[in-house]
Structure 1
Amino acid sequence: MSAASATVDGFGPSGNASRAVNPWLIVVVVSMAAFMEVLDTTIANVALPYIGGGLAISTDDASWVITTYLVANAIILTASSFLAKRLGRKRFYMICVVLFTVSSVLCGLAWNLESLLFFRILQGLGGGGMVPVSQSILADTFPPEKRGQAFAAFGVAVVVAPVVGPTLGGFLADNAGWEWCFLVNGPIGILSVVLVWLVLPKPKLAERERLEQEGIRFDVIGFLLVATFLGSLEVILDRGQEDDWFGSNFIIAFTVICILAFVLMIPWGLTRKSPLVDFRMLATRQFGSCFIVMLMAGAILLATTQFLPLLVQQSFGYTATWAGLVLSPGGVVTMIMMFANGRLLTFVQPKYLIATGALIVAASMYGLTNIYADIDFSYFAWSRIYIGIGLPLIFVPVLTASYAGVPPDMTDQASALMNAARNIGGSIGVSLGMNVLAFRGQFHQSRLVESVYPSNPAYQDTLQKVTDYFVNQGSSVLQAQQQAIAWIGQQVQIQVAFLAYVDVFWTLMLLALAAVPLALILRNIKLGAPAAAE
């Protein structure tokens, strides 16, 4: 198949469409929709304080806006392979874009937390099918020797969008209101629907007819088990800290449900003719390792794009716009690296690129464990630049490696599972970070206040000096003493926050390091040609 044109969906040699389309035009069209969908995983991150203030809820409750979207995304991803075949890729793709666009506008019009979360779930369901179908389109459009470059171009949308999201979200939240973080998808979604309609030809129904002839039906029970498992897992992660973990009957109940769903869905999937999730793929060394690495990469990507803006807003007084701008230099570097990866993958084994990227990310996380009160903008920007170098070295190679040996009729399943891994990992990363932040914050506060008591000579000395300072500023002795006590308490809270964020970055560093051995056990693939299945 030529790199200059491709027959689309069937996008490729096995396709059924009647006309040729320039494959790079297909890349542009599917990347636009994917960019919009992935953008919404992080565009609200820096706007969480605004959302909390606007809806009269805490920042912790507002974080559900992020995680509910990711979980809904992951749930529908598991069903996207069947739905794309049953409805046809183009039709399913357009349904997803329309649902995503409409629900985005409704998110901007939400009147309370419950309505916002409901519309975010709809938005996640709509967006969940867009990225895997895009990837399977590209996998079938391009021959193996060109897939690295195609995934690199497409990867700009998947990896850069979460970085652009906070910058754009911060600007919109500061200047137009948090609602516009969602309303902005309206015109972009309409344009995307038009382009998909014009560029992607209507497929014939060969795949649908094959499913009907073979009696393959949607795995409803499998879908319900997966949805129950992922949904209950998210509830446990999000509410565990607030509800005192297993001291709460609510958390215990959801834990039992989560474990039961997990235990049932594996034998169910292994005994079905056409399971919703093909666990046999996950059991292979190549695809299974790629799946786990993608879980880790998704956790780091989403966690860093949420906690770094929160840190600079809460502890350094940055506005939402400046918090977003902290991530911008990394976004530019990421874009450059994505295109460089396309070249690197023509002569470097994916496993070495993944391991290198994980080490770079780990080094960046280690750098963030050294934060202190006088750190300037450039320190955070440079840390993000290093992450922007490392993460693309993980994402594009792991996608390329995951398709090695996957039969053409399983590319939809592979795409769905890899994107589910990214979103599930992102959701777990955000929830894990929130729990580490809360738990370690309590720990550090209990330890720091041990030294803040009236009979402590160091405390007395500090109190006297700060009192003298406020007296010199014109306060009475009594007022100055009260101000000094308040100032000392404020300094304790600042140190607690710093130490808690340091623990979050330590956790993410260890997660990045854990991806290195997993990358190195991947087998070599024949660069520029498909590899045999394991």
Structure 2
Amino acid sequence: MAANNNKFVKVIIVITTITAAIMELIDTSIVNVALNNISGTLGATLEDASWVVTAYAIANVIIIPLTGFLSRYFGRKNYYLASIILFTLSSYMCGSSSSLWMLVFWRFVQGIGGGALLSVSQGILFDQFKPEEKGIAGGIFGMGIVIGPTIGPILGGYIVDNYHWALIFDINIPIGIAAALLTWKFIDKKPDEYNINKKTIPIDYMGILSLAIGVGALQYVLEKGQSDDWFQAASIRYLTIAAVLGMGFFIWWELHTKNPAINLRVMKNRNLIGSNVLTFVCGFGLFGSVYLFPVMVQRVMGYTPTEAGLSMVPGALVTIFAMPFIGAGLGKGIKPIYFVILGFILFILHGYTSSLATQDANNWWFSMPQIFRGVGTGCLTVPLLSQAVVGLKPQDMPYGISLNNMFRQLGGAFGIAIMNTYATNRYATHRSDLVSNLQANNPMLTERLNGISQAMAAKGVNPITAKQTAYGVLDHSLSNQAQMQAYLDGFLLIAIFFVCTIPFMLLLKNETMDAETRAKVAAAAH
């Protein structure tokens, strides 16, 4: 009976931690498809409404590298439970917001609570598995990391098309309450949490403050740079300076202070440097492609938000099936580098095949690139986390893991910002090229304009208006072609980015962790 109870508790904890992590990751992307509705309902511009996304991202990227310190200071269970409650409460307040800036404030608070739902869930989950099962645990958790950003647009699109946007936040409430109750009842404190003496744990105020300023300013520049015309805007110039000074001082301070909030000295390990760079690339590819695809099919191909989300289902489904096998392979001793190489190959194929799409492509055509992306991300996420801590001392592993998580989030921020800017610039280039190829004496152009004009005239439209309409139709068609080519260039850029960073694999140690080391990784994971 006791064994059955232990199995029951284990299942409950696995479900709780995975659900909490997925819930946090869903909220990073679920709002994207609802910005039009939010801006219309709250009487704000679309540009101002984008702060709903920016505020959450800024809070998230600040708190994630600090979760290791906060877990030690407050105790892992206490911090985790408080974060779930904060996330749930702020979700309710987001759904109840009556103004845009009220919503933005509570999204920032939600991002603070959400940081632990990703990071601390990992350590709690790993504690439930034996050393030889850590690979499976990593596969289960990695599945949540990959699925979350993919499910977000699907779920958000369905809600926006059928219900009020507030439901995007309200659906977190019952899940959050259940997760809080299950955490309080079934998740035990670690032995060292019962005798925490906060007086013996110094707080690195300067490190935390400089990190918040540097990373927060950097995230703002990445999120708002394109809409604010980059360095043409004073706010972008000043915050770029703040990001450089803040991050520069943070790095200097953490390397020289006696008790750093984040021990950057672990970055002397070349294996950790290589793993973090490749994790950054993984975040770049995952979030960049998840941003590009739904925007492309909605703006160019006329998909509804729901249809755009459903188009991403193949990638999510194949990830669900692939991740446990990847985790089991790691558990049996397959070297992580093999999965990393396969992941890079699949992501390069994803970017290249996606760049070959046409405006006539249907969901079936896009299925294969989505599958490449899903399996590729799975092959990179957990193996890179496992690879990151190879060669680190047990006491340094929490810092290595927190830095690895932060690099994935920053990679995602860079991916979205670069894809947005690159697509905008390429659109202008392609439109200019298409316009320059339109010659007034081109018989095909003349024939098409006359055909549209005659069709309009047949419906009773006067000749002058019919001709204007024909030019309007041609302009719309030209813009669609330019936009399509711009987004396809974005996918190709992702493939090129992966190709250019392949040399960083040479920094990785081609080693397999033994069961004892995997156990230490699990214990150290936030």
Shift of 1:414: 3.2
CA distance in 2, matches of 1:325, 1:174: 13
Q: Aligned residues, how many?
A: 516
Show the counterpart of 2:185: 198
CA distance in 2, matches of 1:136, 1:374: 46
Show the counterpart of 2:150: 163
Task: Name the CA shift for 1:514/1:177 in 2 (closer, same or farther; >3 Å).
Answer: farther
Show the counterpart of 2:451: 465
CA distance in 2, matches of 1:52, 1:168: 19
Shift of 1:302: 1.8
| Aligned residues of 1:313 and 1:320 also touching (Cα < 8 A) | yes
**1:320-331 matches, cutoff 5 A:** 320-331=305-316
SS of residue matched to 1:316: coil
What does the per-residue CA deviation read over 1:84-134, in whole Å, with 9 as the maximum and x for residues that have no partner? 011111000011101111111222222333222211111110000222112
Residue 27 of structure 1, aligned match among 9, 14, 17: 14
What does the per-residue CA deviation read over 1:440-488, in whole Å, with 9 as the maximum and x for residues that have no partner? 2223233333344756665434322322233344433222212101101
CA distance in 1, matches of 2:117, 2:379: 23
Residue 231 of structure 2, aligned match among 239, 242, 246: 246
The amino acid that maps onto 1:33 is A
Q: Which moved more, 1:141-150 or 1:67-76?
A: 141-150
Show the counterpart of 1:442: 428
What does the per-residue CA deviation read over 1:249-273, in whole Å, with 9 as the maximum and x for residues that have no partner? 3322222111111221111000122
| Aligned residues of 2:24 and 2:117 also touching (Cα < 8 A) | yes
Task: Name the CA shift for 1:392/1:84 in 2 (closer, same or farther; >3 Å).
Answer: same
Residue 54 of structure 1, aligned match among 26, 41, 63: 41
Show the counterpart of 2:408: 422
What does the per-residue CA deviation read over 1:210-242, in whole Å, with 9 as the maximum and x for residues that have no partner? 6634xx312111111111111211222233333
What does the per-residue CA deviation read over 1:403-456, in whole Å, with 9 as the maximum and x for residues that have no partner? 333444344333322222222221221122111122222232333333447566
| Aligned residues of 2:56 and 2:110 also touching (Cα < 8 A) | yes
The reply to whether residue 503 of structure 1 matches residue 489 of structure 2 is yes
Flag structure 2 segments of 5+ consecutive residues without an equivalent. Answer: 521-526
Show the counterpart of 1:187: 174
CA distance in 2, matches of 1:289, 1:5: 43
The reply to whether residue 380 of structure 1 matches residue 392 of structure 2 is no
Show the counterpart of 1:482: 468
Task: Name the CA shift for 1:205/1:529 in 2 (closer, same or farther; >3 Å).
Answer: closer
The amino acid that maps onto 1:431 is A
CA distance in 1, matches of 2:47, 2:367: 25
Residue 505 of structure 2, aligned match among 509, 514, 519: 519
Show the counterpart of 2:523: none
CA distance in 2, matches of 1:157, 1:367: 26
CA distance in 2, matches of 1:442, 1:465: 28
Residue 333 of structure 1, aligned match among 301, 305, 318: 318
**1:243-282 matches, cutoff 5 A:** 243-282=228-267
Show the counterpart of 1:403: 389
Q: Which moved more, 1:231-240 or 1:346-355?
A: 231-240
CA distance in 2, matches of 1:264, 1:254: 15
SS of residue matched to 1:318: coil
The amino acid that maps onto 1:132 is S
The amino acid that maps onto 2:494 is L
Show the counterpart of 1:359: 345
Structure 1 runs (4+) deviating above 6 angstroms are none
**1:118-129 matches, cutoff 5 A:** 118-129=105-116
Show the counterpart of 1:14: none
| Aligned residues of 1:46 and 1:169 also touching (Cα < 8 A) | yes
Flag structure 1 segments of 5+ consecutive residues without an equivalent. Answer: 7-18
CA distance in 2, matches of 1:177, 1:381: 30
The amino acid that maps onto 1:306 is Y
| Aligned residues of 1:29 and 1:195 also touching (Cα < 8 A) | yes
Q: Percent identity?
A: 32
Q: Which moved more, 1:54-63 or 1:308-317?
A: 54-63
Residue 65 of structure 1, aligned match among 52, 70, 73: 52
CA distance in 2, matches of 1:105, 1:255: 34
| Aligned residues of 1:163 and 1:305 also touching (Cα < 8 A) | yes
| Aligned residues of 2:14 and 2:125 also touching (Cα < 8 A) | yes
CA distance in 2, matches of 1:125, 1:246: 29
Show the counterpart of 1:79: 66
Shift of 1:74: 1.4
Task: Name the CA shift for 1:448/1:490 in 2 (closer, same or farther; >3 Å).
Answer: same
Task: Name the CA shift for 1:65/1:276 in 2 (closer, same or farther; >3 Å).
Answer: same
Shift of 1:198: 1.0
Show the counterpart of 1:16: none
| Aligned residues of 2:87 and 2:111 also touching (Cα < 8 A) | yes
Task: Name the CA shift for 1:275/1:473 in 2 (closer, same or farther; >3 Å).
Answer: same
| Aligned residues of 1:160 and 1:334 also touching (Cα < 8 A) | yes
| Aligned residues of 2:61 and 2:216 also touching (Cα < 8 A) | no
Show the counterpart of 2:76: 89
| Aligned residues of 2:87 and 2:110 also touching (Cα < 8 A) | yes
Question: TM-score with structure 1 length normalisation?
Answer: 0.89
CA distance in 2, matches of 1:113, 1:501: 30
CA RMSD of aligned residues (A): 2.6
Show the counterpart of 2:302: 317
